């Protein structure tokens, strides 16, 4: 009974420590997670490399996967680029197995872990920002070490009553035939899968396997068979998380499951040769290191096989899961909310897309090249309402001043875009100009402001995570876009002054009989609406570029 309690307690402390450590490391990474993943995914190969490195550093393949879902949903990465990151995350997550094999089961670290837990807890409770995050990571790491020590003690007791001969024999073991060895291999694969499914952590399951081997409860070949099943078992959590999720999340989850199954088939087919190779190295390398190396090599081989076939693999996944979502639904993926930086960038891009469309429609209507329809204004209003709802679900606040500024600027842009659409929906673009020079100037200035806003919105929606303009925090504006913003400001400012003069001139035209009072007020309202739309288009574009300070706060 005490053995079971020690094993369960050790696994529980390990899982708790991994959770606390991962949360701390993710908080320390902050927006850098989006930066690295976005910039590193230029090709599937570089994406796989950096996906592995980032997962190793933050100790969370789920963090990498969720960020990747957000980047793909927002259009910052293509699906094949996202696949590269997910493939790499499978390799990076094997790093904890090395920690267990090289340190965790060899040395009793409980005497060191307890002071580290105390120090990390103090930093977490008394510190703030990155100090608190570092404290959480330190306390989580110490909990992992303490959990491994407890698990090691439990496995020592288990080894007294459980021997490798009590478990199914697998291929590669002495005096085991192909039939019996194959059945034993498949049986232990199922056991490993069940272990991961119950623990919801392949890392914890592999820690148990390595600890059991160290204690003598399982053999080298049996440990390798368990690792195959434990790798497949990680797909169960992804499959469960994809239920009710967006199409992008479902596709990446399906890709993850297929990757695990293909890698498992390769491992099963090569198992006799792999076991023979491990036995060859066992004379000079201990079994724990061999099992950790097998875990890593297992995933590396899977990545090496699938990476060259990424485009084919992508088409197969997209064929199996066709998208029925609109572009707006794809962009505003709820899973994106897990990373505030990506969520804000997603909202910013959708606001830019709405601004681009509305500004283009208004400029065409004002110049006489098109007509505004109630349906287009209604569609824009619905999109902006969905963005408001999306950002309202953002419960985790931005961590840095730069990130808070980006969120505030995006909210300003959303507000101005909403006012633009409201004005458009209520009254349309304007009354037809009556041919006077003042009316022509008003129409020309509104056209210039809208064209500039359309260019700016288009430049933002054209950004990808691979472009220089897509730095996650702060903005780099090209000379062309800076010129477009200056033109929008000039046109909106000039139109504001002109509408004041136009009002006085129009009212003065009533007394001589040139206009009726009703016609004068109608024309004044039309010009005022054009001025308001130009103003909101300019201010929305300025805030989207992070250059909204000093222009206005409320209007």
pLDDT band at 471, cuts 50/70/90?
Answer: very low
Q: pLDDT tens across 19-35, in order?
A: 777 667 666 555 555 55
Neighbours of 112 (CB within 10 A): 14
Q: How far is CA 83 from CA 43, 231, 238, 540, in A?
A: 10, 18, 14, 34
Say if CB 221 and CB 275 are below 8 A apart. yes
pLDDT band at 352, cuts 50/70/90?
Answer: very high
Query: Residue 243: which residues within 8 A CB-CB, separation 6 or more?
Result: none
Neighbours of 170 (CB within 10 A): 27
Q: pLDDT tens across 394-429, in order?
A: 877 776 777 788 889 999 999 999 999 988 877 655
Q: pLDDT tens across 477-499, in order?
A: 778 888 999 999 999 999 888 88
Determine the Cα–Cα distance for residues 374 and 499; give it in Å rounded to an integer.
26
Query: For the CA atoms of the chain, what is the radius of gyration?
Result: 30
pTM attached to this predicted model: 0.67
Phi, psi of 372, rounded to the nearest 5 degrees: -85, 140
CA angle centred on 286, ends 144 and 158, rounded to 5°: 55
Q: pLDDT tens across 206-244, in order?
A: 888 888 888 787 888 888 999 999 888 877 766 766 666
Q: Which of 138-152, 361-375, 427-441 has the lowest mean pLDDT?
A: 427-441
Q: Which of 27-31, 47-51, 377-381 has the lowest mean pLDDT?
A: 27-31
pLDDT at 96: 74
Q: How far is CA 309 from CA 122, 247, 265, 305, 390, in A?
A: 49, 22, 17, 7, 35
Looking at the chain, the whole-number percentage of residues with pLDDT higher than 90 is 12
* Residue 432 pLDDT > 60: no
390: left (phi over 0), alpha (psi -120 to 50) or beta: alpha
pLDDT band at 539, cuts 50/70/90?
Answer: very high
CA angle centred on 520, ends 514 and 522, rounded to 5°: 140
Q: Compare 371 and 444 and report the one with higher pLDDT.
A: 444
Average pLDDT over residues 314-330: 76
Mean pLDDT score of the chain: 78
Q: pLDDT tens across 143-199, in order?
A: 777 776 676 666 555 555 555 666 788 877 777 778 888 898 899 999 888 888 777
* Residue 329 pLDDT > 80: no
Q: What is residue 376's three-state secondary structure?
A: helix
pLDDT at 299: 87
Query: Residue 22: which residues within 8 A CB-CB, separation 6 or more?
Result: 58, 59, 60, 63, 140
Determine the Cα–Cα distance for residues 101 and 287; give it in Å rounded to an integer.
9
Q: What does the H/E/C string look like for 37-84?
A: HHHHCCCHHHHHHHHHHHHHHHCCHHHHHHHHHHHHHCCCCCHHHHHH
* Residue 541 pLDDT > 90: yes
* Residue 55 pLDDT > 70: yes
Looking at the chain, the whole-number percentage of residues with pLDDT higher than 70 is 75
Nearest to 205 by CA among 298, 97, 92, 59: 97
pLDDT at 113: 75
Determine the Cα–Cα distance for residues 136 and 126; give it in Å rounded to an integer.
11
pLDDT at 546: 87
pLDDT at 385: 92
pLDDT band at 75, cuts 50/70/90?
Answer: low
Determine the Cα–Cα distance for residues 297 and 292; give it in Å rounded to an integer.
9
Determine the Cα–Cα distance for residues 548 and 538; give it in Å rounded to an integer.
9
Determine the Cα–Cα distance for residues 59 and 30; give it in Å rounded to an integer.
14
The string of DSSP letters for 147-187 reads HHHHHHHHHHHHHTT--GGGSPP-TTSTT--HHHHHHHHHH
pLDDT at 419: 92
Determine the Cα–Cα distance for residues 104 and 96; give it in Å rounded to an integer.
10
7: left (phi over 0), alpha (psi -120 to 50) or beta: alpha
Q: pLDDT tens across 247-294, in order?
A: 777 788 788 888 888 989 999 999 988 888 888 888 888 888 898 899
pLDDT at 388: 92
pLDDT at 537: 94
Determine the Cα–Cα distance for residues 488 and 113; give it in Å rounded to an integer.
60
Say if CB 218 and CB 226 are below 8 A apart. yes
pLDDT at 232: 85
Buried/exposed 79-99: b ≥16 CB within 10 Å, e otherwise = bbbbbbbbbbbbbbbbbbbbb
Long-range contacts at 233-240 (CB < 8 A, ≥ 24 apart): 233/192, 233/193, 233/194, 233/195, 233/196, 233/197, 233/202, 233/205, 234/61, 234/93, 234/196, 234/202, 234/260, 235/260, 235/261, 236/193, 236/196, 236/197, 236/200, 237/62, 237/200, 238/65
């Amino acid at each position: 009974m005490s053995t079971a309690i020690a094993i369960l307690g050790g696994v529980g402390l390990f899982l708790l420590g991994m959770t606390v450590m991962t949360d701390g490391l993710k908080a320390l990474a902050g927006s850098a997670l989006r930066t690295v993943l976005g910039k590193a995914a230029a090709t599937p190969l570089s994406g796989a490399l950096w996906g592995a490195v980032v997962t190793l550093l933050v100790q969370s393949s789920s963090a990498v996967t969720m960020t990747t879902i957000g980047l793909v949903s927002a259009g910052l990465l293509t699906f094949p680029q996202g696949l590269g990151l997910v493939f790499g995350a499978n390799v990076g997550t094997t790093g904890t197995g090395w920690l267990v094999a090289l340190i965790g089961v060899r040395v009793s670290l409980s005497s060191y872990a307890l002071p580290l837990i105390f120090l990390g807890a103090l930093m977490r409770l008394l510190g703030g920002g990155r100090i608190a995050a570092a404290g959480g990571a330190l306390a989580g790491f110490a909990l992992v070490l303490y959990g491994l020590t407890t698990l090691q003690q439990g496995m020592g007791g288990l080894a007294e009553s459980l021997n490798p001969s009590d478990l199914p024999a697998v291929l590669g073991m002495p005096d085991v035939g192909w039939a019996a060895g194959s059945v034993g291999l498949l049986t232990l694969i199922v056991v490993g899968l069940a272990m991961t499914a119950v623990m919801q952590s392949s890392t914890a399951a592999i820690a148990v396997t390595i600890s059991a081997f160290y204690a003598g409860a399982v053999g080298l070949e049996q440990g390798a068979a368990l690792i195959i099943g434990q790798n497949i078992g990680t797909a169960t959590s992804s499959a469960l998380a994809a239920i009710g999720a967006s199409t992008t999340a479902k596709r990446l989850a399906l890709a993850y499951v297929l990757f695990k199954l293909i890698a498992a088939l390769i491992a099963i087919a090569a198992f006799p040769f792999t076991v023979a190779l491990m036995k060859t190295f066992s004379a000079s390398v201990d079994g724990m290191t061999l099992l950790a190396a097998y875990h890593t090599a297992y995933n590396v081989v899977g990545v090496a096989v699938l990476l060259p076939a990424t485009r084919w693999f992508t088409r197969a996944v997209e064929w199996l899961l066709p998208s029925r979502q609109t572009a707006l639904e794809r962009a505003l993926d709820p899973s994106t909310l897990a990373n505030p930086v990506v969520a804000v960038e997603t909202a910013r891009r959708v606001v830019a897309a709405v601004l681009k469309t509305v500004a283009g429609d208004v400029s065409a209507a004002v110049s006489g090249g098109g007509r505004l329809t109630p349906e287009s204004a209604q569609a824009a209003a619905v999109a902006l309402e969905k963005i408001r709802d999306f950002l309202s679900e953002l419960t985790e606040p931005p961590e840095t001043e730069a990130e808070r500024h980006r969120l505030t600027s995006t909210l300003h842009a959303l507000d101005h875009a909403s006012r633009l659409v409201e004005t458009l929906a209520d009254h349309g673009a304007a009354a037809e100009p009556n041919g006077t020079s003042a009316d022509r100037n008003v129409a020309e200035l509104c056209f210039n402001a809208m064209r500039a806003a359309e260019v700016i919105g288009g430049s933002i929606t054209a950004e990808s995570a691979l472009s220089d303009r897509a730095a996650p925090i702060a903005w780099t504006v090209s000379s062309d876009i800076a010129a477009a913003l200056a033109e929008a400001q000039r046109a909106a400012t000039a139109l504001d002054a002109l509408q004041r003069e136009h009002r006085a001139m129009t009212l003065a035209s009533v007394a001589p009989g040139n206009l009726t009072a009703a016609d004068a007020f109608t024309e004044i309202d039309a010009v005022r609406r054009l001025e308001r739309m130009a103003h909101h288009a300019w201010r929305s574009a300025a805030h989207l570029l992070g250059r909204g300070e000093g222009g206005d706060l409320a209007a």
